[in-house]
Amino acid sequence: MVAPLPGLPDSVTIWEVGPRDGLQNESTAIPTEIKTEFIRRLVAAGLRIVEATSFVRPDWVPQLADAADVVALLPREPGRRFPVLVPNLRGLLAAREAGAGEVAVFASATETFARRNLNRGLGEQMAMFAPVIDSARADGMPVRGYVSMCFGDPWEGAVPRPQVVQVCRDLISAGCTALSLGDTIGVATPGHVAALIGDLVAAGIPVADIGVHFHDTYGQALANTVAALQQGITTVDASAGGLGGCPYARSATGNLATEDLVWMLDGLGIDTGVDLRALVAASAWLAGVLGRPSPSRVVRALSAAQDTQ
């Protein structure tokens, strides 16, 4: 049954991160053909943005060592976007050579995580990102700025909102065309989400440029998503099957499952363009490849219902 709530958008863009964020922690090497087949199935299910891979050093994230091969095999369909993550200028050059048309950089809202993830201090990270953003924009590439640890940090605890706002402003000033607010360890609650988005808008960042990226560590991802939608957010990151986390923060458990998100948005009458049954089938297929059940509650529920029919 569809039962809308007042104050929510008519449509939401899902930024699918499963092939990159969802698979990067897998300890067993996944063949390139499996990754690209997963992407094709996600696209067939109606997802318009699928973050395909990351051009990081293979010794940092071995699972993504085949980034160039994945990009070469991406389906080329009108209206579909396949952004890739690049950590630095070398990564951008490799992504450009491989044929990527859209990139993202990955910043931190805290000092400790910046040093652990980027080997840079909080005040030094922009010196690494600025030439990446400049070069990508000069080529006409959109650049998304991920901001991790926006709501809490496992080493530093609660993160002051003005500190997050400053990092976001720095990224926009450097030329990023969009932002993604990361609840990397899943500690955000709806009031905190609303307050941070309000601070960003008050600082002059258009709400249309802001996306959200929630982890479900404490079961708050969907509640936080509703709070974000109430603030005008229309781009939500999610990972098919609920796969993924962060290789540099062990307390960062699974991402918000795309299927759980679509189930909720369908029930609210919010258009995503996604065929939930096809999406569930794609995640169930990948779960079979990985040899374990999907973490997504909706995948498990619909798969069980289908088995009993």
246 is catalytic: yes
Q: Tell me the Ramachandran region of residue 246: left when phi exceeds 0, alpha when psi lies from -120 to 50, beta otherwise.
A: beta
Burial of 62 (0-12, 13-18, 19+ CB in 10 A): middle
Structure tokens at 289: 């490849």
Question: Which H or E run includes 237?
Answer: strand 235-238
* Residuewise pLDDT in 10s, the chain (309 residues): 899 999 999 999 999 999 999 999 888 999 999 999 999 999 999 999 999 999 999 988 999 999 999 999 999 889 999 999 999 999 999 999 999 999 999 999 999 999 998 999 999 999 999 999 999 999 999 999 999 999 999 999 999 999 999 999 999 999 999 999 999 999 999 999 999 999 999 999 999 999 999 999 999 999 999 999 999 999 999 999 999 854 444 544 689 999 999 999 999 999 999 999 999 999 999 999 999 898 899 999 998 876 655
Q: What's the rounded Cα separation, in Å, for the pair 190 and 187? A: 10
| Chain Cα centroid distance, residue 87 | 15
Count Cα neighbours of 2 within 13 Å in the Cβ-side half-sphere.
7
CB atoms within 10 A of CB 204: 9
CA dist., res. 180 & res. 184, Å (int): 11
> Positive or negative CA dihedral for 49, 55, 56, 59?
positive
Q: How far apart are CA 16 and CA 256, in angstroms?
A: 10
Q: How far is CA 241 from CA 18, 41, 212, 250, in A?
A: 8, 13, 18, 19
Count of CB atoms within 10 A of residue 304's CB?
9
What was the pLDDT predicted at 245? 57
**DSSP letters of 107-158?**
EESSHHHHHHHHSS-TTTHHHHHHHHHHHHHHTT--EEEEEE-SSEETTTEE
Q: Where are the domains of the chain?
A: 13-307
Whose CA is closest to 61, among 19, 5, 16, 100? 19
Q: Which CATH superfamily is domain 13-307 in?
A: Aldolase class I (3.20.20.70)
Taking alpha carbons only, the member of 217, 175, 225 closest to residue 197 is 225
| pLDDT on residue 304 | 80
* Block residue for tokens 């922690």: 25
The one catalytic residue in 150, 168, 176, 246 is 246
